[in-house]
């Protein structure tokens, strides 16, 4: 059996990048000490979630991948701890800006970049102001501890994301996210959010790891993020879940061979009818 321990972290972020990075590193070290081999940080963890305001000055936060000092520092840490780190960052590529993610393998090597496919626009989630739609397509990375796929926040609401990543050979799906207050919807979206992701896990018979930030952030408007980072098994059952307010990490063990066997035995992928799904190619 191929067993791997995965972790999701959650923390509050302030306008002090050095402090945010130190907290992220401390959470990574704690999770690694607890046996975690793949450790997920939340979306855009270097700063507060600046996307709830449209301000040109925040474009200055973006960096090219090969010039990002945080990725360089986490690469060193990944090698030291022999852990895999999916890392979310604000990418500048020429004149274009992306909400991006790289995977750092356990030897410290920075693997290929993924650029967020689905870009939201709405009160407190003004991402279309900052980010172009991703041009990489979905990505699956072969790491020391297994083949992993990732979507970024809004990607997690689309069943196509999880299905394509599973078809591409992912054995675990990771979602770094930033979600909380819904001032227009005027409801607590947490249960709906969680059920949606559990459904993707169950429908594709694949474990999922989700990291969400916590804390209240104020920038003309106010957002409170509800944490509750969680890990599912291949049936969508919650193995571990954090609370809404604590800076913490959670760790769970996954049996990748058993999950692969489940996908084979259940017959969902055997019985797919791609030729019948043409409607998906239209709006």
| Rg, C-alpha atoms of the chain | 18
23, 43, 127, 217: which is the annotated catalytic residue? 43
Active site residue 153: yes
Please, which residues bridge with residue 8 across strands?
A: 40, 250
Active site residue 245: no
Q: Which helix (H) or strand (E) holds 195?
A: helix 190-204
Q: Which helix (H) or strand (E) holds 230?
A: strand 230-232
Please, which residues bridge with residue 203 across strands?
A: none
153, 171, 182, 217: which is the annotated catalytic residue? 153
Vertex 128: Cα angle to 17 and 224 (nearest 5): 50
- The position carrying tokens 């259940």 is 266
Sign for the pseudo-dihedral over CA of 10, 13, 17, 20: negative
116, 139, 171, 182: which is the annotated catalytic residue? 116
Active site residue 261: no
List, by residue number, the catalytic residues.
43, 116, 153
């Amino acid at each position: 059996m191929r067993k791997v321990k995965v972790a999701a972290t959650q923390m509050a972020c302030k306008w002090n990048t050095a402090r945010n990075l130190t907290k992220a590193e401390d959470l990574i070290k704690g999770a690694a000490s607890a046996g975690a081999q793949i450790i997920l940080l939340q979306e855009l963890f270097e700063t507060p979630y600046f996307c709830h305001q449209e301000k040109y000055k925040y474009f200055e936060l973006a960096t090219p991948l090969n010039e990002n000092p945080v990725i360089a520092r986490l690469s060193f840490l990944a090698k030291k701890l022999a852990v895999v780190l999916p890392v979310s960052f604000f990418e500048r590529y020429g004149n274009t800006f992306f909400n991006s993610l790289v995977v750092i393998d356990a030897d410290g090597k920075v693997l290929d970049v993924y650029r967020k496919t689905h870009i939201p626009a709405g009160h407190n989630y003004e991402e279309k102001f900052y980010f172009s739609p991703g041009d990489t397509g979905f990505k699956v990375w072969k790491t020391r501890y297994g083949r992993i796929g990732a979507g970024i926040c809004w990607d997690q609401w689309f069943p196509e994301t999880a299905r394509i990543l599973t078809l591409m050979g992912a054995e675990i799906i990771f979602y770094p996210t930033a979600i909380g207050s819904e001032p227009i919807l005027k409801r607590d979206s947490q249960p709906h959010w969680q059920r949606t992701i559990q459904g993707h896990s169950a429908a594709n018979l694949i474990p999922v790891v989700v990291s969400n930030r916590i804390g209240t952030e104020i920038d003309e408007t106010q957002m409170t993020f509800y944490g509750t980072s969680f890990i599912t098994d291949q049936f969508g059952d919650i193995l571990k879940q954090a609370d809404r307010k604590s800076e913490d990490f959670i760790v769970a063990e996954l049996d990748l061979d058993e999950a692969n066997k489940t996908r084979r035995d259940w017959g969902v992928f055997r019985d797919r009818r791609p030729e019948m799904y043409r409607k998906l190619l239209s709006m």
